């Protein structure tokens, strides 16, 4: 655990532009304040823009930053913008089945074929791209809005494999409602899945960093289960506070960053907290500065932000009152620079 602010390492998520010169310019700017870059990589990227990813990883290393690969939306099991998994589309036979009997576009982590897909993906990625590590962002059983979303009372997974494993574990048929046992089963299943993935990474080399991030909306029991992941180096949380939330920014960040520090401490993991730097509104640009400062007052090891320049391309064209991406970056840079110098208190 970091014990002083100037032990904290800084990262930012960066969506690689397809043009190398522009990418280098961005990464040089990021390298002025960051120690690492989280690179969202989709299955489609590797099928269609492999060189873009390679250049991003190589340039990050050249600039002395750790390139962490975010397996973005792989198997539709992790966070993603709106780029569906190719594997999930190509192999619906390995998809989750909900309690209503509906097959949904999400690969089931309890199926051996899905785990084999991830093992191959990790091994071949290491072989070709040599990243600094892997990021498994917001693992969960939900279904993203762009994939159709689960209806009220609908949940996954109740496929044959999950039902068999449930019966082996509890000796009864898996219920159709979310009981305490179902909740426990799903958390334990995710723990086993993440442990396997981190094991695949470490089998490629102990030096590859393994990192994950839970959501503030995840049940405490789920967060705790993820914290037990074997071969995991970094346990993260993303307290994405926005104006209008019931809690103040300070209360929200303190509550969730503090919870991550507690879980990380229990399992001797490094801890990471994520600043909300995406789709902000005009006038809210300095929120990233305050969030970073509040997080740095906790015993964290990594302070990271999603994402570079407010990920302006991601912002819907119809969104009114968009934040100024240059201002968001300016405030974030300032926070990172001050914290690096050991200045945690907010400077107005």
Q: Least distance in Å: CB of 160 to Zn ion?
A: 8
Q: Would you say 90 or 248 has its CB closer to Zn ion?
A: 90
Contacts of 121 (CB under 8 A, 6+ apart): 43, 71, 74
Q: Least distance in Å: CB of 159 to Zn ion?
A: 3
Q: Least distance in Å: CB of 117 to Zn ion?
A: 14
DSSP for 265-334, please give it.
HHTT-EEEEEEE-SSPBTT-TTHHHHHHHHHHTSS-SEEEEE-GGGGGGGS-TT-SSB--HHHHHHHHHH
The residues pairing with 211 across neighbouring beta strands, listed in sequence order, are 135, 234
Q: Is 108 in the site for Zn ion (CB under 5 A)?
A: yes
Q: Is 159 in the site for Zn ion (CB under 5 A)?
A: yes
Contacts of 39 (CB under 8 A, 6+ apart): 13, 14, 15, 16, 53, 56, 57, 60, 67, 68, 69, 70, 131
Q: Least distance in Å: CB of 178 to Zn ion?
A: 15
Q: Least distance in Å: CB of 16 to Zn ion?
A: 33
Peptide bond into 213 cis (omega under 30): no
- By CB under 5 A, how many residues form the interface with Zn ion? 5
Q: Would you say 141 or 329 has its CB closer to Zn ion?
A: 141
> For tokens 């993260």, what's the residue?
236
Q: Is 162 in the site for Zn ion (CB under 5 A)?
A: yes
Q: Is 157 in the site for Zn ion (CB under 5 A)?
A: yes
Q: Which stretch binds Zn ion (CB under 5 A): 22-30, 159-167, 269-277, 324-332?
A: 159-167
Q: Would you say 147 or 344 has its CB closer to Zn ion?
A: 147
| CA–CA distance, 325 with 129 (Å, rounded to integer) | 30
Q: Which stretch binds Zn ion (CB under 5 A): 4-12, 70-78, 157-165, 277-285?
A: 157-165
What is the pairing mode between strands 103-107 and 209-215?
unpaired
Q: Would you say 186 or 331 has its CB closer to Zn ion?
A: 186
Q: Which stretch binds Zn ion (CB under 5 A): 84-92, 107-115, 182-190, 312-320?
A: 107-115
Which residues in this chain contact Zn ion in the complex, by CB under 5 A?
Answer: 108, 110, 157, 159, 162
């Amino acid at each position: 655990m970091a014990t002083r602010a100037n032990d904290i390492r800084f990262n930012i998520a960066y969506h690689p532009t397809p043009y190398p010169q522009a990418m280098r310019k961005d990464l040089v700017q990021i390298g002025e304040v960051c120690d690492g870059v989280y690179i969202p990589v989709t299955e489609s990227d590797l099928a269609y823009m492999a060189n873009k990813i390679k250049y991003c990883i190589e340039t990050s290393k050249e600039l002395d930053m750790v390139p962490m690969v975010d397996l973005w939306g792989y198997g539709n099991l992790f966070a993603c913008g709106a780029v569906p998994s190719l594997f999930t589309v190509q192999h619906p036979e390995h998809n989750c089945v909900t309690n209503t009997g509906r097959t949904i576009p999400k690969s089931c982590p309890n199926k051996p074929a899905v785990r084999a897909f991830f093992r191959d993906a990790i091994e071949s990625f290491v072989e070709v791209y040599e990243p600094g590590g892997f990021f498994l962002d917001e693992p969960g059983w939900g279904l993203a809005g762009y994939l159709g979303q689960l209806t009220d009372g609908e949940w996954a997974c109740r496929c044959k494999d999950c039902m068999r494993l449930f019966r082996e574990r509890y000796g009864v048929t898996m219920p159709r409602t979310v009981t305490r046992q179902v909740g426990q089963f799903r958390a334990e299943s995710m723990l086993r899945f993440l442990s396997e993935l981190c094991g695949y990474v470490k089998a490629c080399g102990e030096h590859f960093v393994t990192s994950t991030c839970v959501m503030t909306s995840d049940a405490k029991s789920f967060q705790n289960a993820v914290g037990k992941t074997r071969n995991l180096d970094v346990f993260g949380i993303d307290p994405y506070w926005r104006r209008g939330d019931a809690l103040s920014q300070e209360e929200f960040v303190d509550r969730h960053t503090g919870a991550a520090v507690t879980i990380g401490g229990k399992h001797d993991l490094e801890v990471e907290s994520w600043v909300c730097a995406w789709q902000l509104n005009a006038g809210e640009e300095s929120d990233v500065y305050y969030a970073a400062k509040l997080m740095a007052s906790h015993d964290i090891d990594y302070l990271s932000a999603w994402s570079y320049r407010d990920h302006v391309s991601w912002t819907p064209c119809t969104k009114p009152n968009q934040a100024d991406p240059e201002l968001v970056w300016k405030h974030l840079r300032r926070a990172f620079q001050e914290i690096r110098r050991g200045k945690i208190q907010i400077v107005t």
